[in-house]
Amino acid sequence: MFKKIIIASVLFMAIPTLSFSEEIKITVKGMVCSFCAQGIKKTFGKMDNIKNINVDLDKKIVTIEIDDLKPLSDEEIKNIITDSGYDVFTIERGKNG
Amino acid sequence: MKVCKLFLLTLIFIFSPSVWANPVSFKDGWGIMPTYTPDYSDLEINYSLTNKYSIGASAFYRKGSDSKASFGIAQYNYLLKRWNELESQANIYATIGMGGRHDSILDDSIAGYLRLEGDFETRRIYTALNVETLQSPGNVDFNRIRYRAGVAPYLAPFNDLHTWIIAQVEYMPEMDDQLTVTPLLRFFYNNYALEVGATLEGEPFLAAMAHF
């Protein structure tokens, strides 16, 4: 019984620290220059639900990791990419633990 | 020297036209672009209200064959057309500006500025064409056609140093040296860029750019 209480307490304390995130891979048209693509990084970087940003110029993919509790819609992503001067080709979503 | 000039001109005409100093960047983005040569200097600052247009100010210094003149211009830059493809990007920009002129011989006066520029680039090649005119009373006018082509000798990841080898040809009919050919190196690192070169006559060329 005592053991169960300990385990339950530990789990209870751990719940607030558990966080889930979503990884989104955005294939971007026109992203051929590192200097010009800084705008994408800057715009996503200003958002408080973005945990991580990675830009792969070879594959033309921007990978963002976002807080699952504050989702980002495809429309919002398209607007950010367009405001940065580019076009979205595809958006792929995946879950992270 | 003649062979070298011919080689550089050939290089430039092999690549299709294209400009590096984009006057419109990303929404809420600032761009600062100083350029220095012994005969002319430019300083351009732009703020992009959207990804389509920006407002800004420029200062130009021109040492012509007849006089020296400085211009201060408030300007509006507009992205006329952009082609975003998976492996390339091409742009056409237009700039219109008004301001003042200070001349070494004539009185101070108003001045106008017009520019049309286009660029095309992939991760490997870069080409740019820039045509501009500064006009003011008393025939104190300065025109420039700048044509550029470049190659990236290696492809670097996003956060690393990027290097370009560029050949630049400028035609400025009001200057002592009307036609100049400038081989230069361009470096990108994060949101900073630097260009260092020299004309075939040995005159230095320096340019920088920062986006933030």
Using the 8-state DSSP alphabet, how is residue B138 labeled? T
Q: How many angstroms away from the CA of B121 is the closest CA of chain A? A: 7
ipTM above 0.90, yes or no: no
* Contact indicator for B130, B117 with CB cutoff of 8 Å: yes
Asked whether residue A26 carries a pLDDT value surpassing 90, the answer given is yes
pLDDT at A13: 61
- Predicted confidence band of residue A7 (pLDDT cuts 50, 70, 90): confident
Between helices A38-45 and A74-83, what is the axis angle to 10°? 130
Mutate to test the interface with B, among A26, A27, A38 (most CBs of B within 10 A): A38
Contacts of B196 (CB under 8 A, 6+ apart): B184, B185, B187, B205, B206
Q: How many angstroms away from the CA of A88 is the closest CA of chain B? A: 10
| Arithmetic mean of pLDDT, A35-54 | 88
Closest CA to B106 of B69, B141, B78: B69
| Nearest CB to B89; choose among A27, A32, A54 | A32
* A83 part of contact set with chain B, CB < 8 Å: yes
| Nearest CB to A85; choose among B26, B122, B190 | B26
pLDDT at A95: 66
The vertex-B141 CA angle with B139 and B143, nearest 5°, equals 145
* Contact indicator for B144, B128 with CB cutoff of 8 Å: no
pLDDT at B19: 38
Query: Which chain A residues touch B121 with a CB distance below 8 Å?
Result: 32-33
Asked whether residue B194 carries a pLDDT value surpassing 50, the answer given is yes
* A27 part of contact set with chain B, CB < 8 Å: yes
CB-facing half-sphere around the CA of B161: CA atoms within 13 A: 5
> Buried (b) or exposed (e) across B108-132, using 16+ Cβ within 10 A?
eeebbbebebbbbbebebbbbbbeb
Are the beta carbons of A35 and B29 separated by less than 8 Å?
no
Instruction: Residue window 40-79, chain A: list those with CB within 8 Å of chain B.
Output: 40, 42-43, 54-58, 60
Question: For residues B101 and A47, what is the distance between their CA atoms, to the nearest angstrom?
Answer: 43
Asked whether residue B12 carries a pLDDT value surpassing 60, the answer given is no
From the number of C-beta atoms within 10 Å of its C-beta (0-12, 13-18, 19+), residue B147 rates as buried
Nearest CA in chain B to A27: B86
Q: How many angstroms away from the CA of B111 is the closest CA of chain A? A: 31
Lowest mean pLDDT, pick from A1-5, B23-27, B35-39, B163-167: A1-5
Are the beta carbons of A38 and B156 separated by less than 8 Å?
no
From the number of C-beta atoms within 10 Å of its C-beta (0-12, 13-18, 19+), residue B135 rates as middle
Are the beta carbons of A33 and B84 separated by less than 8 Å?
no
The DSSP H or E segment spanning B198 is strand B192-198
Q: Give chain B's mean pLDDT.
A: 89
Lowest mean pLDDT, pick from A17-31, B105-119, B167-181: A17-31
Q: B81-126 pLDDT, tens per residue?
A: 999 999 999 999 999 999 999 998 889 999 999 999 999 999 999 9
Q: How many angstroms away from the CA of B52 is the closest CA of chain A? A: 8
| Nearest CB to A34; choose among B82, B85, B158 | B158
* Contact indicator for B62, B41 with CB cutoff of 8 Å: no
Are the beta carbons of B123 and A56 separated by less than 8 Å?
no
- Predicted confidence band of residue A61 (pLDDT cuts 50, 70, 90): very high
pLDDT at B64: 83
Asked whether residue B180 carries a pLDDT value surpassing 80, the answer given is yes
> How many percent of chain B have pLDDT more than 70?
90
Question: A68 or B33, which is more confident?
Answer: B33
pLDDT at B26: 87
pLDDT at B211: 87
Asked whether residue B1 carries a pLDDT value surpassing 50, the answer given is no
Query: Which chain B residues touch A88 with a CB distance below 8 Å?
Result: none
